[in-house]
Amino acid sequence: MSTVSLPPAPLHPVGLRLHGRRVVVVGGGSVAYRSTVGLLDAGAAVTVVSPAVVPALEALADSGALSWIPRRYAPGDLDAAWYAVAATEDPAVDDAVAADAERERVFCSRADDPDASSACPALSDAEEPLPHDDGRGRIVLVGGGPGDPGLITVRGRQALARADVVVVDHLGPRSLLAGLRPDVEIVDASKLPRGRAMPQEQINALLVSHARAGRLVVRLKGGDPFVFGRGMEELLACASADVPVEVVPGVTSAVGVPAAAGIPVTHRGLTHEFVVVSGHLPPGHPQSLVDWSAIGRLRGTVVVLMGVETAPAIAAALVQHGRPPDTPVAVVVEGTTGRERIVRTTLAHLPAAIVQEKVRPPAVWVVGEVVRVGAPTS
């Protein structure tokens, strides 16, 4: 006697307003991360339940963007939830989550079995694919811009729409992951400030191995790949392995974040130059390549990236080498996103402002008279 397989029940298209509402994501891998970023962009109050999480989820938990319960799923974890996601990649656990959700009348999506889910996330509209596809594995280094998913280039969106594998940084426009095809493999290559990081050599090897397997690999990076993004290192690794590679430039946070906050890096009559500096090493560090005495003597704008922890030392060096202590400074935290905030201060008061305002990465800070342009007067 043969068994007839019935098609999945039809879906009723609807959108969920989850802002401020509790959502539980069970799982801590790349599949759970993909679901979580879309929920966070919807304003949901996300709780992740998993014994371990990928670095990108860990960073979100450390920043307070979500709550992390570091253990296995247990009955009761869905209490007061409006929506649940089962993404452990363990069928037994996902079964338990889905069964509890059904009992509690909580809609649930299963990453491993969309047809068995009571809810299925909608995909974003498909983008026009890349114009050439010869079936050979290749790599596209995509600059995703400073954070707002709308600031990625059209070419970057085309690459994501066609990707088989996406290797993503913590600072890449994470909400774009939620709209990828379900079969796209996501690799978390986060480099967390002073935290866990995937070695660059391992990232290079991953890119090459996936491309050699015939896949289209998108390396999604924040900002522009060639502005403190190690993009050239990855390009050289691909070239040495004889793997085709394309570079898609992105809007660098050094210019895009201040601009979106209403701060120009240049302004007629105020400055004829601006300089972008990596602040990941403090002045005086034996590995620092920055001539802080020269930077201090400049009259133009100084933009500092990756310089939250080192801000006191950098401010002191700039004053020591010629910048007046009352030089205005603007610190733009999580620029271009819905969580953006601006801390205005001076070089002299920057260390105290960092502490008082609880500034954490990602943040870009700007030094110079351009900070006063368009600034509120009260």
Domains along the chain with CATH numbers: 22-116 (3.40.50.720), 138-251 (3.40.1010.10), 254-372 (3.30.950.10)
pLDDT given at position 194: 55
Q: Write down the mean pLDDT value for the chain.
A: 90
CA angle 249, 247, 274 (to 5 degrees): 35
Gap between the Cα atoms of 71 and 210, Å rounded: 32
List, by residue number, the catalytic residues.
Answer: 169, 191
Report pLDDT for 177. Answer: 87
Q: What is the pLDDT averaged over residues 160-179?
A: 87
**DSSP string of 249-317, one letter each residue:** ----HHHHHHHHTT--S-BTTTBS-EEEEE-SS-TT-TT----HHHHHH--SEEEEES-STTHHHHHHH
Other beta carbons less than 10 A from residue 58's beta carbon: 21
Q: Report percent pLDDT > 70 for the chain.
A: 92
Q: So what's the pLDDT on residue 3?
A: 47
Distance CA 244, CA 222 (A): 22
One-letter amino acid of 38: G
State yes or no: pLDDT of 184 exceeds 70.
yes
- For residue 196, the model assigns a pLDDT of 64
Q: Which residue has the higher pLDDT, 98 or 55?
A: 98
In this prediction, residues 160-173 reach a mean pLDDT of: 89
Give the pLDDT mean for 231-250: 96
- Among 42-51, 91-100, 197-206, which is the least confidently predicted range? 197-206
Per DSSP, helices labelled H in 1-128 are 30-41, 55-62, 91-104
The pLDDT of 211-238, averaged and rounded, is: 95
For residue 339, the model assigns a pLDDT of: 87
As to burial, measured by CB atoms within 10 angstroms (0-12 exposed, 13-18 middle, 19+ buried), residue 284 is: exposed
3-class secondary-structure state, position 328: strand
Greater model confidence, 45 or 182: 45
pLDDT category at 289 given cuts 50, 70, 90 is: very high
Rounded mean pLDDT of 153-173? 91
Average pLDDT over residues 20-32: 95
Q: What does the pLDDT read at residue 38?
A: 87
What per-residue confidence (pLDDT) applies to 126? Answer: 43
**Mean pLDDT of the 76-90 span:** 95
Q: Which two tokens stand for residue 80?
A: 């007061």
pLDDT at 304: 98
Contact of 94 with 88, CB cutoff 8 Å: yes
92-101, 107-116, 206-215: range with lowest mean pLDDT: 107-116
Does 2 score more than 90 pLDDT? no
pLDDT band at 171 (very low <50, low <70, confident <90, very high): confident
- DSSP secondary structure code for residue 19 in this structure: T
